[in-house]
Amino acid sequence: MQDPSTPEEVISLANQGNAKSQYKLGLMHELGMGIEKDLSQAFIWYQKSADQDYAKAQYNLGIFYALAKGVEKNIEQSKHWIRKANENGYSGGSVF
């Protein structure tokens, strides 16, 4: 399957439960890429992707918790998600 190239394609696949597209939709919301910037929505989509063990989403979720981006600051949750990202092969996840 080719990577979706439009926001509509990403949204469609994310709503179907595709973890990579959920991560990408979170990133789009975080950065305002093709859609309105919305940190709360970014957090929601990262969470959905992270729950499916998508390592990049787990790492970003950890950063959101550490920096209180779209969610209340929670260092323990931050450590949890960054460790999970590391366990799932994301090298950026070895911060803690």
Tell me, what's the pLDDT at 2? 61
Q: Which helix (H) or strand (E) holds 62?
A: helix 55-67
Examine residue 1 and state whether it is found in any structural domain, yes or no: no
List CB contacts of 95: < 8 A, sequence separation 6 or more: 82
Which residues form the domain of 71? 7-89
* Residue 40 resides in a domain: yes
- Note the pLDDT tens digit of each residue in 48-94: 999 999 999 999 999 999 999 999 999 999 999 999 999 999 987 55
With cut-offs at 50, 70 and 90, classify the pLDDT of residue 96: low
pLDDT of residue 78: 97
The answer to whether position 25 is within a domain reads yes
Report the pLDDT averaged over residues 35-49: 97
pLDDT of residue 3: 73
Chain segment 3-33, per-residue pLDDT in tens: 777 999 999 999 999 999 999 999 999 999 9
**What is the model's pLDDT at position 81?**
97
- Count: domains in the chain: 1
Asked whether residue 63 is domain-assigned, the answer is: yes
- Does residue 2 lie in a domain region? no
- Tell me 3's DSSP state: P
| CATH label of the domain that carries residue 60 | 1.25.40.10
Determine, yes or no, domain membership for 27: yes
Task: Say if 41 falls within a structural domain.
Answer: yes
In 32-91, DSSP assigns E strands to none
Does residue 95 lie in a domain region? no
